[in-house]
Amino acid sequence: MVRNIQLRVSLKEATQTDILAQKVARHLSLPTSDFSYKVLRKSIDARKPTIYFNYKLEVYINEPAPKNNQHTFEYQYVSKAKPIHIIGFGPAGMWAALRCLELGFKPIVIERGKDVRERRRDLKAINRDHLVDPDSNYCFGEGGAGTYSDGKLYTRSLKRGDVRRIFESLVHHGATEQIVVDAHPHIGTNKLPKIVQNIRETILEHGGEVHFNTKVTDFIIRDNQLKSIVLNDSEEMKTERTILATGHSARDIFHLLNEKGVLLKAKSFAMGVRVEHPQHIIDSVQYHCQGNRNELLPAAAYSLVQQVKDRGVYSFCMCPGGFIVPAATAPGEVVVNGMSPSKRNNLYANSGIVVEINSEKDLNNYSKHGVFKALQFQKDLERLAFTSGGRTQTAPGQRLTDFVEGKLSSDLNATSYQPGLLSAPLHSLLPKLIGGRLRQGFKEFGKKMKGYYTEEANIVGVESRTSSPISIPRNEQLEHPEIKGLFPCGEGGGYAGGIVSAAMDGERCAEAAIMGL
């Protein structure tokens, strides 16, 4: 007999040994020897001073609880099978490749960057020497931008695919089973590289191909069909079906597609800054505590949203116990992003605070750039951050209160951003479209979270790569409406917004690409 029950465990109760078993026994009026259980979902309710852990359990009476897995992954050996070409080896490309293996097709992955081990050297060069390799950085390389993020797996895209299947695929490749249970799961930037490497090894062991340091430099299109792709300006590779999973920062691919007459569209997106607080401030606000949080509680996170002048201002990619990193993909620009290790045990909490930008209504001054108007606006802001930060990867910064009050900071708080900060008047440098709304938004956030609005927080510019400013259209079959054999996929196509949604879209595109082969 199986029963689903929900339990609440207070923070004080959580210190007791076998508290869940005791509570189940009381709930069912059974001795603990008469049942087993597994946890389906765990979340924290910290809205009131008494903090609770909420559990959803599946209880098995007089029988053992089965394993947590609902999915099996049976990969076929595909060395001689029909090929599917996949451009980009981020989450969308990885899961497209894995799905090809399951369906009996050979994935041939083309990745402009390096594998995870070699990629680390280029990340070190950005942080230490301020040198940006356009093909190997926090966005490009094995695993894409997701590899050196903190691996947030929360998604609202529940209707786009099987979220649990993606979680279990991650577990299959080395992630902790806890991600299947937690309400807001994450993996950690220290754990992701090994999982990404394991996925690559699965692909290679089953006859697939992964080509690093290989850049697509041309598309050969005849009779409205993609016939082949040119690699590194030299090698031409014939293709019948190509999944384009290049991510939101592959600007050269957008320009190349436009030059080849491939239909693109400008897309609304969001831009802003990173805000960084000492983690203990966020803990004290969220957990109603003074000093250090209880050791059973994770580093506290937050989610904030406010409408300001008909545009949303909201937190994005919040990283508790994390650090800010340089995410530029070319020299002459400064871009910041955030991530956390698996234990989320760093001293700082950071989050993007961004403003919605409607590409049709807000960028009239950029109309001459046509489909690239939002992209050009993005680039201009990143160049502004570069010059105001001192023309290195040092980023412009300002105390949060000084930004809102409109004055230059005489000094800045300590930061996790390794290249360093330079005090700059971001309140006047950012366009009013963004800066004015951010200043009002921070005021409102301070009312919602007492203690959030503080001079102990810095803002760091700019957070500009929230999503792609361009979309690549596709039809109901997930194929480009004008170019046969081209399947735009993931964040770069405008169809995902994070690891899980990109992975699900990769699977769907693989399924679509094999139809009729």
pLDDT, mean of residues 238-250: 97
The answer to whether residues 330 and 409 belong to one domain is yes
Nearest to 334 by CA among 373, 375, 388: 388
Q: How confident is the model at residue 54 (pLDDT cuts 50, 70, 90)?
A: very high
Mean pLDDT over the full length of the chain: 95
- Dist. CA 31–CA 13, nearest whole Å: 19
For the chain, how far is it from start to end, CA to CA, in angstroms? 46
Q: How confident is the model at residue 157 (pLDDT cuts 50, 70, 90)?
A: low
pTM above 0.85, yes or no: yes
Is residue 67 included in any domain, yes or no?
A: no
Nearest to 338 by CA among 390, 255, 403, 395: 395
Does the pLDDT at position 300 exceed 90? yes
Is residue 490 included in any domain, yes or no?
A: yes
The answer to whether residues 205 and 160 belong to one domain is yes
The answer to whether residues 315 and 359 belong to one domain is yes
Q: What is the CATH number of the domain that holds 259?
A: 3.50.50.60
pLDDT, mean of residues 387-393: 97
Is residue 66 included in any domain, yes or no?
A: no
Does the pLDDT at position 158 exceed 70? no
Tell me the backbone φ, ψ of residue 68, rounded to 5 degrees.
-75, -15
Say what the pLDDT of residue 159 is.
Answer: 64
Per-residue pLDDT tens over the stretch 456-508 = 999 999 999 999 999 999 999 999 999 999 999 999 999 998 999 999 999 99
Is residue 73 included in any domain, yes or no?
A: no
**What domain range is 479 assigned to?**
83-263+471-513
The answer to whether residues 398 and 289 belong to one domain is yes
Does the pLDDT at position 320 exceed 70? yes
Per-residue pLDDT tens over the stretch 139-155 = 999 999 888 877 889 77
The answer to whether residues 430 and 286 belong to one domain is yes
Q: What is the CATH number of the domain that holds 6?
A: 3.30.70.2700
Poorest-pLDDT segment among 74-88, 281-295, 432-446: 281-295
Say what the pLDDT of residue 477 is.
Answer: 97
How many structural domains compose the chain?
3
The answer to whether residues 281 and 422 belong to one domain is yes
Nearest to 213 by CA among 136, 289, 126: 136
The answer to whether residues 188 and 309 belong to one domain is no
Say what the pLDDT of residue 70 is.
Answer: 84
The answer to whether residues 182 and 218 belong to one domain is yes
The answer to whether residues 272 and 239 belong to one domain is no
Say what the pLDDT of residue 507 is.
Answer: 97
How distant is the alpha carbon of residue 436 from its chain centre? Answer: 27
Around Cβ 161, how many Cβ atoms within 10 Å?
Answer: 19
Q: Are 338 and 274 in contact (CB under 8 A)?
A: yes
Which tokens sit at 308? 């300001």
The answer to whether residues 153 and 35 belong to one domain is no
Poorest-pLDDT segment among 45-54, 80-89, 157-166, 377-386: 157-166
The answer to whether residues 258 and 215 belong to one domain is yes
The answer to whether residues 502 and 436 belong to one domain is no
Per-residue pLDDT tens over the stretch 305-316 = 999 999 999 999
Is residue 175 included in any domain, yes or no?
A: yes
Say what the pLDDT of residue 151 is.
Answer: 81
